[in-house]
Amino acid sequence: MPPEKKQKTAPAAPGKPCPVCGKPATAAAAPFCSDRCRQIDLGHWLTGSYRIPARDDDVEQD
């Protein structure tokens, strides 16, 4: 059986930190540094932690 090949991860872009933890992003998980941070971010979206602020007067009244 051939030995397993490890996937090399290169930086996604210089100076672009992971939006979750701040570590350098990798090309394999861009724009995150790892699959763990990608899953954390997905969890934030699914639980409603990320919201666009709105004011009550923004609602159209009939």
Question: What average pLDDT score do residues 30-49 get?
Answer: 94
- Establish if 5 belongs to a structural domain: no
- Establish if 16 belongs to a structural domain: no
pTM of the model: 0.60
**Across the chain, what does the average pLDDT equal?**
80
Question: How many structural domains comprise the chain?
Answer: 1
Q: Which residue has the higher pLDDT, 43 or 5?
A: 43
Residue 32: domain span: 24-48
Close Cβ partners of 11 (under 8 Å, ≥ 6 residues apart): 24, 25, 26, 27
- Establish if 62 belongs to a structural domain: no
- Establish if 35 belongs to a structural domain: yes
- Establish if 7 belongs to a structural domain: no
Say which amino acid occupies 30. Answer: A
- Establish if 31 belongs to a structural domain: yes
Which token pair is 60?
């159209």
- Establish if 56 belongs to a structural domain: no
